[in-house]
């Protein structure tokens, strides 16, 4: 069953965040994920949405998602994101078909 990685990111240092963006696809493409959405103009229709960027990715399984997230390459790249932003993220299971 597919899982979805949803990240809400509040970027406070665009210049440093650019270092993360520059290396993201190179690392991400090594895993079985699909980048479904990246949006900095999301339309809030209910409640508060403090993030400046929302990201949605799909993986075939939780194991695939965690293999990407816990990989040495992503952990190294993620240091740029951590310096330039704060984030909340979650893995959400897809609806069984």
Determine the Cα–Cα distance for residues 26 and 18; give it in Å rounded to an integer. 14
Which residue, chain included where needed, has tokens 């991400």? 28
Tokens of residue 19, six digits: 């270092």
What is the per-residue pLDDT for 7? Answer: 97
Q: Does domain 3-43+50-93 have CATH number 2.40.10.10?
A: no
Asked whether 64 and 31 are in contact (CB, 8 A), the reply is: yes
Q: Which residues contact 38 (CB under 8 A, 6 or more apart)?
A: 53, 54, 55, 56
What is the per-residue pLDDT for 96? Answer: 85
Q: Could you tell me the mean pLDDT of each successive run of 10 residues in the chain, 97 residues long?
A: 96 96 96 97 93 97 98 98 97 91
């Amino acid at each position: 069953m597919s899982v979805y990685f949803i990240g809400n990111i509040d970027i406070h240092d665009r210049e440093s965040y650019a270092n993360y963006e520059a290396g993201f696809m190179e690392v991400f493409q090594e895993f079985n994920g699909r980048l479904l959405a990246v949006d900095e103009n999301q339309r809030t229709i209910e409640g508060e949405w403090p993030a400046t960027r929302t990201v949605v990715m799909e993986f075939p399984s939780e194991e695939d998602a965690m293999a990407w997230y816990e990989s040495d390459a992503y952990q190294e790249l993620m240091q740029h994101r951590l310096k330039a932003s704060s984030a909340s993220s979650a893995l959400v299971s897809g609806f069984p078909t």
